[in-house]
Structure 1
Amino acid sequence: MAMSAAPAGGNKKKTACVTGGNRYIASALIKMLLEKGYAVKTTVRNPDDMAKNSHLKDLQALAPLEVLRADLDAEGSFDDAVAGCDYAFLVAAPANLVAQDPEKELIEPAVRATLKRDEVVREGGDGEARGPDLVGGRGLHDYIRPELQGDGHVLDEDSWSDVEHLRAAKPPLWWAYCVSKVLLEKAACRFAAEHGISLVTVCPVSTVGAAPAPIVSTSVPACLSFLSGDEAGLGALKGIEKTSGSVQLVHVDDLCRAELFVAKEDAAAGRYICCAVNTTVVELARFLAHKYPQYNVKTNFADDDQLLEKPRVSLSSGKLVREGFEFRYKTLDEMYHDMVGYGKALGILPN
């Protein structure tokens, strides 16, 4: 989520806060902001942990970048990071995907942390909040609707996951994470309405493409699983398709551009789905087998008759496009153009 704090005067360099600077999407957003001439503040739990934060040292060579210590559980932890910023991109959220007690360990902390950071911006800003990336990664899980039967469904920003279905059925793959994302966005919307804050959220889908972060989990390893042979990662993609009706993708560069676009656009309002490609596991496998024959990608999924040839449900970014945003990465070929090199740099793929 990005929030606008105090307006900058004259030609003063604008400042943006990006929370969770050692995370995948946040690292790409920081790099983009620095390249566009912004001064940036970012928060991490432990600035001295170079295994997670070495890329931030490299990014400091591009433009002013201040790395601050902050913790979602510590009161007042984000005050200094948000103070004096024109934009605050609240990207980080709890992501414990193997919690023993999801309600206590993931859902409640996620909602509590979101409200806490909203309060910080309300107190430190001018009452104008802009919110890209409030929902975070894998936004497709925020569209699990068990009543959708048959093919050809197109979902937009009016669609929300059925939280009670998720809690009752507990489908595999991050059901509690999905619930937390729905609840934290709705909580932030209520908070904004109660305090006269204009709130805008961007809901991204599975995000791919190279970013500065040296450690990456979830979507990048999963989307490289066809090449790496990681059965758990491939299982994650299959689970996404089975629970949501397709595999939806966006390139991290487009996601960051969309976040900045709605943050700066005065007319932006409400929710925005950020999805460029709706595909399936089978389509991905065939594409990757053709593009990278050296990896011997499996394309025969006859043993899994639940997999789809074509998407059964698609997410629409029509609202974002109608308001003037244009995706640069619109095909699988464009999505994967930098993924193999990034996978090798991360150690997911062999050099």
Structure 2
Amino acid sequence: MQQTVLVTGGSGYIACELIKQLLETGDTVHTTVRSLGNTGKVRPLKEMQAAHPGRLQLFEADLVKPGSFGAAMQGCSIVYHVASPFLMQEKITDGELQMLRPALEGVRNVLGSANEAPTVERVVLTSTIGAIFGDYSDALEMPGHVLSEAFFNTTSSLDHNPYHYSKVMAEKEAWKIAGAQDRWDLVCINPGLVLGPSLTSSSDSGSLFLLDELMRGLFFYGVPDLSFATVDVREVAAAHIAAAKLPAAKGRYIVSSAEMISFIDIAKVLRKVHRRPYLLPRMQIPNVLMRLIGPFFGLTPKFLNNHLGIRFTLDNRRSIEELGIRYRPAEQTLIDHYENWLKQKTA
């Protein structure tokens, strides 16, 4: 069934792919950006407008400005609240200003507008697996070392994992607001580290930043003993759409591969296709050495102690069984990511 929907943060990594898939299904899409004058960020949206005449409208809105989403939400039955900042740990200098304030106030403003828009029936919130755990070591406290939707992150703070803290606080606030009314319902998508081809070269997404550093050779000397729960951006977008359109969808969904992939194995995959494979690391930095040099790269001793060498599995069965997601191999996602990155770099 074709609908009119809102996607917040339309210039972002996940949001661009989501808008693309929504337009391909025949929906009419409203989307918000912070500034229509930012030509770099708006460019892929303008291109989709041209490809789908009359079915993509752009609005300006600010996460921390009350009421700024009202106009964009008019006539929409589904709200995909995707907008929220994501920076890697070492890029965060002020957790409250960069992470918590826009995430938390954004949820309040968007869902406040949903309460005032009589057409809204469902809100799909982009959360993260970081709202389920804080440090990797937290997952070791879960039964069988398996991450499931039953848990909420209790160990992050503004001073420690501020991105995870902002997401868990935003998600809890969303459930609180949803529970205070009965006209629309809430579904949360909790993805892992999102990778895969990007429609935008102007995103600030931490996952794009991490892979860009790796592929440019900034880790040629070696990588830490870290592993990631990854997911293809195309699966993340498909999960959002299924969560919106399937009446039985409810609660939270882990959208991620069940098994983690190590940093060194990511480099190994990319070395097969990289035009300058010598830029990619072949060595994993010993944990003892990483604890010595990590602080020089913005990684605290606590962060390193609670992440280095730790693996866990993820229970993604609900996303498969209820949302119908089929996860492509991580190797294919990484190859597609690299080919898209190279195309953008040489365009």
The answer, yes or no, to whether TM exceeds 0.5 is yes
Cα distance in 2 between the residues matched to 1:34 and 1:280: 35
Q: How many residues align?
A: 320
CA contact (8 A) 1:289 1:299 kept: no
Change (3 A) 1:177 1:17: same
Specify which of 183, 188, 204 is matched with residue 174 of structure 2.
188
CA contact (8 A) 1:34 1:62 kept: no
Find the residue that maps to 1:166 and give its secondary structure.
Answer: coil
1:110 aligns with 2:92: no
Change (3 A) 1:187 1:324: closer
Specify which of 199, 208, 223 is matched with residue 211 of structure 2.
223
Find the residue that maps to 2:244 and give its secondary structure.
Answer: helix
CA contact (8 A) 2:44 2:199 kept: yes
One-letter amino acid matched to 1:84: G
Compute the displacement of 1:291 (Å).
Answer: 4.5
Farther off after superposition, 282-291 or 91-100: 91-100
Specify which of 221, 228, 252 is matched with residue 271 of structure 1.
252
Cα distance in 2 between the residues matched to 1:291 and 1:227: 11
Compute the displacement of 1:271 (Å).
Answer: 0.4
CA contact (8 A) 1:226 1:288 kept: no
Q: How does 1:141-160 map to 2 (within 5 A)?
A: 142-145=132-135, 146-149=137-140, 153-160=145-152
Match in the other structure for 1:343: 341
TM-score under structure 1 length normalisation: 0.81
Cα distance in 1 between the residues matched to 2:218 and 2:7: 31
Match in the other structure for 1:7: none
Cα distance in 2 between the residues matched to 1:319 and 1:121: 27
One-letter amino acid matched to 1:214: S
1:129 aligns with 2:129: no
Change (3 A) 1:99 1:334: closer
1:287 aligns with 2:275: no
Change (3 A) 1:127 1:40: closer
1:249 aligns with 2:239: no
Specify which of 329, 332, 343 is matched with residue 330 of structure 2.
332
Specify which of 200, 203, 228 is matched with residue 187 of structure 2.
200
1:178 aligns with 2:164: yes
TM-score under structure 2 length normalisation: 0.82
One-letter amino acid matched to 2:236: L
Cα distance in 2 between the residues matched to 1:343 and 1:120: 36
Compute the displacement of 1:122 (Å).
Answer: 1.7
Farther off after superposition, 319-328 or 300-309: 300-309
Cα distance in 1 between the residues matched to 2:36 and 2:13: 16
Compute the displacement of 1:29 (Å).
Answer: 0.8
CA contact (8 A) 2:5 2:76 kept: yes
Compute the displacement of 1:81 (Å).
Answer: 0.6
Compute the displacement of 1:59 (Å).
Answer: 0.5
Q: How does 1:300-315 map to 2 (within 5 A)?
A: 300-304=283-287, 312-315=311-314
Specify which of 3, 8, 16 is matched with residue 5 of structure 2.
16
CA contact (8 A) 1:286 1:299 kept: yes
Q: 1:150-171 CA distances to partner (integer Å, 9 max, x unpaired)?
A: 9961111012222xx3238x44
Change (3 A) 1:113 1:346: same
One-letter amino acid matched to 1:269: K
Q: 1:255-305 CA distances to partner (integer Å, 9 max, x unpaired)?
A: 100100011111111100100252111322233334547412212215446
Find the residue that maps to 2:254 and give its secondary structure.
Answer: strand
One-letter amino acid matched to 2:115: R
One-letter amino acid matched to 1:213: T
Compute the displacement of 1:184 (Å).
Answer: 0.5
Q: Identity, % of aligned pairs? A: 26
Cα distance in 1 between the residues matched to 2:24 and 2:318: 27
Find the residue that maps to 2:266 and give its secondary structure.
Answer: helix
Match in the other structure for 1:69: 60
Cα distance in 2 between the residues matched to 1:104 and 1:287: 36
Compute the displacement of 1:126 (Å).
Answer: 4.7
One-letter amino acid matched to 1:251: D
Cα distance in 2 between the residues matched to 1:300 and 1:191: 48
Compute the displacement of 1:19 (Å).
Answer: 1.0
Change (3 A) 1:127 1:61: closer
RMSD after superposition = 3.0
Structure 2 residue ranges without an equivalent (≥5)? 291-303
CA contact (8 A) 2:78 2:120 kept: no
